[in-house]
Copies of this chain bind each other. A is one copy, B any other.
């Protein structure tokens, strides 16, 4: 039962399910029920089934899901059955951390380039990539077929970097800067705000203490 609009929360959970299934696969688990998945990742079993139902019927009634099979379906749905070339713009602490992050590599995201304006950083080696000057970004996006840009520059230059990425044909942007970015229709944008996360905790703490 394919539906047009998939809730973002569903997609996020699919990513989590898939990682959990990978773990089960490594443990040679053959079959699993929606309620076991649910327990493993901390949601309800109805939620698991509902999420999967957006994309088809993957289980067998009375039995459950074949781990390997479901894992394959999820990887395909998430677009992780292929390699993605990514560029990281901003080789500060966060950019470097992401460049070295194993989690990306494991799931098929290859860091093809890291860029910065800071002369002190340019030329450094980071996981088989040399930090290049920002001026080279536009050309290398095309040369290296980079489809995904990760922005870890300060807020003040985030929009400029975005414009370069978009103009050079990048199709998706993961933005770690605390700035609302404008992208044309068709470019996928996702914002990750580290400050917001800790401030939600602070809010909850403050509310608890009152």
Residues on A close to B: CB < 8 A?
6, 8, 11-12, 14-16, 18-19, 40-42, 77-80, 82, 84, 86, 93-94, 96-98, 100-101, 103-104, 107, 109, 147-148, 150, 171-174, 178, 180, 186, 188, 190, 192-208
Q: Is the CB of B194 within 8 A of A192?
A: yes
Q: Could you say which of B78, B109, B174 contacts A203, with CB atoms under 8 Å apart? A: B78
Copies in the complex: 2
Query: For residue A9, which residue of chain B has the nearest CB?
Result: B200
Interface of A is mostly: helix
7 closest A-B pairs (Cβ-Cβ)? A79-B206, A93-B97, A97-B97, A15-B199, A79-B202, A188-B204, A42-B180
Q: List 17 A-B contacts (CB under 8 A).
A: A8-B200, A11-B204, A14-B203, A15-B195, A16-B193, A42-B180, A79-B205, A93-B97, A93-B101, A96-B97, A98-B194, A104-B198, A150-B198, A171-B208, A172-B202, A174-B201, A190-B201
Q: Is the CB of A190 within 8 A of B200?
A: yes
Q: Is the CB of A109 within 8 A of B206?
A: no
A84 to B202, CA, bound (A): 8
In the assembled complex, which residues on chain B have CB atoms less than 8 Å from the CB atom of A206? 77-79, 82
A197 to B18, CA, bound (A): 14
Q: Is the CB of A199 within 8 A of B107?
A: yes
| A206 → chain B closest CB, angstroms | 3
Q: Is the CB of A188 within 8 A of B201?
A: yes
Q: Is the CB of B204 within 8 A of A16?
A: no
Q: Could you say which of B6, B16, B171, B204 contacts A205, with CB atoms under 8 Å apart? A: B171
In the assembled complex, which residues on chain B have CB atoms less than 8 Å from the CB atom of A171? 205, 208
In the assembled complex, which residues on chain B have CB atoms less than 8 Å from the CB atom of A201? 148, 172-174, 188, 190
Q: Could you say which of B41, B77, B109, B200 contacts A180, with CB atoms under 8 Å apart? A: B41
